[in-house]
Structure 1
Amino acid sequence: MLSGERHGKILRELELRGTLSVNEFAAKTGLSTMTIRRDLTQLAGQGLLRRVHGGAVRNASERSGEAEYRRSRQPLATLGLIVPTTGYYFPEIIRGAEAAARTLNARLILGVSNYSVEDEYRQLQRVVANSVDGILLASAGPVEPGSPTFELLAGLKIPVVLVERSSRAFESVMSDHSYGAELAMEHLAVQGHRKIALAVATSPTAPWLRDSHARMVAKLGLESDAPVMEYDRLGPVGGNNQAEFSRFLTDCRRTGTTAALVLPDEEAITLIHLAEESGMDVPQDFAIVAYDDEVAELAAVPLTSIAPPKRDVGHTAVTMCMERLAGKQGSGLTPALRRVNLAPKLIVRESSRAAEED
């Protein structure tokens, strides 16, 4: 490794962490301690760091222009971001991650698993081979002991942050989907609906919505015979499940159900069309709340929706990973894992408004 490259690594380490231990840096980079000490002496002579026993610290008197120059030359850290798709839901997460990376002088390497656990594992191997400093993962399947993804991540010595996923073993940032479903149920109940159906696509989000729906039916004293449907979407980024929703709507009419919470937006739009074709008025005869708020506003009857804070999820995940790299969280050698839940918001539109609100 050339001296210029070594010096760049040393300065990035100091910019990121504030301190550098010769022994730890040698173990991390494979450089000899003698070489590192010699480089530290040279950089100290240029006023770019201050030598201390066992290593170096960032020079507090360093001119801000020099720090800006270093940051402009090379990022402080490279993070691998792996998502199931760039076509639905995750674009906003990616944009939030990009914004945080720019602010914190990090580089993102993007991988797409296409909802395949095999592709996901290959993408993880790729970013690890590229010597990333941290990993952000929205997994295609459960991250549980025994799975290839879990075993790979558990063996790494770099920060791992799950995105819109949870695990007892790793840090995570996700939308509080339970709270989001509660907002939808409370909104519909306030409108006077006593039977609220649920239709959710099979996904990591589905269990949160199912549990919250059942809990809120009991909490709000609603009638419990409204239809609940979980279905498989026709493709990884959507599809028209018209047959399933036609049966769902028939069950709603049979049971006297007057409202529904639907995940995702596209199928809520399908439900609007089916309701109107059957002679029902939305929202007078049947109110609908969509979950995701990707295209809800574009429906023929603009959909009331639950909007997860997708951009904030991506931004927070990068920030958390960089904080872990910098050692700014926790104390001691094993700081506590953080699991951050961010609250969705309810956006009220025409599909659930009472007549007096028009």
Structure 2
Amino acid sequence: MDYVLHASLPSSLVSLSLLFFLFFIIITTTTTTSSSSFHAAAAAATTVFNSTTLTFGEAYSPLFSKFNIQRSRDDKTVGLLLNRFSGSGFISSDYYNYGFFSASIKMPSEHTAGIVVAFYTSNVDTFEKNHDELDIEFLGNVKGKPWRFQTNMYGNGSVSRGREERYRMWFDPTKDSHRYSILWTPKNIIFYVDEIPIREVVCNAAMRGDYPSKPMSLYATIWDASSWATDGGKEKVDYKYEPFIAEFKDLVLDGCIVDPTEQILSSNCTDMITGLMARGYSTISPEGRKSMKWFREKYMYYSYCYDNVRYPVPPPECVIVPSERELFMNSGRLRTKMKFHGSHRSRGHGRRGKTNRRRSKEAVIM
């Protein structure tokens, strides 16, 4: 800006112009700093996420509907199909006593209302009435509207105390693959999207059995959830657009393999768990905290921690953040409407496209 032009102007106008100029500089600097912090955290995080990837055959097996599972020639990419006959899913061949679970996933495009793609850990096959679970579930939408996703946690069969959070995405998950990860240690749980931490649950004694602590397997599924997934079940899966394909690659399983039926877990896991908690992705850096704050305040549209109707006293692991609190009503929903109209209603565990291991073994021969 050429300040000489203001020489002939009244002093009041000069002062006003300078005020607007300073305001512009402050806003621009703040925005740039926030954006730079976000991208710096993403760049730094990629250096600590260098995990060994596995082929499908090395660590996974079909869970159900093997005929709807497509494996690439190098066995590093897996396509899970949903059509009018069935959904499909796969499961890790082993149980893990804590671990880091990750995959790059590309969502189906076109009209995806009623579809759920899930990437989660669970031990429901062994501990049916007191199982643990950590979920990332992707919720499809009508054509032209964005996918959404949610995270959840259950411990010791606490399905009546769901801990859901729901979010939008800052990218189109149907255009390219994006990495989604779950870290699970005795100390904390972190959910990641593209190496950006979006949620952390820190274990504390008050949670008791609600903190997942029993060995779990890794699951991936696609299934028809027309009864609830889109607009509270008003929008159903339209099989005119079938098949719906969710693509999984860059598969990571990093944890201690155990036999879940053992009463006393092997002491061999001690060193593995210690090493896991020493990894870069087990602790959120200051830059990561900034990125998580940015994501949660901009893209989270429901949180059980702010749902005072459901939980008059927030569960013990909830950390009430003032800048988040002011965004939500007592129902846990945003004060301002989003551009899409998704269902915020709580739900039961529902049909997840899951089967037990006995059925999964039968599915292998289909």
TM range (shorter): under 0.3
TM-score by length of 2: 0.20
The structure where strand makes up a greater share of residues is 2
Q: Higher helix share goes to which structure?
A: 1
Higher RCO structure (Cα 8 Å, ≥6 apart): 2
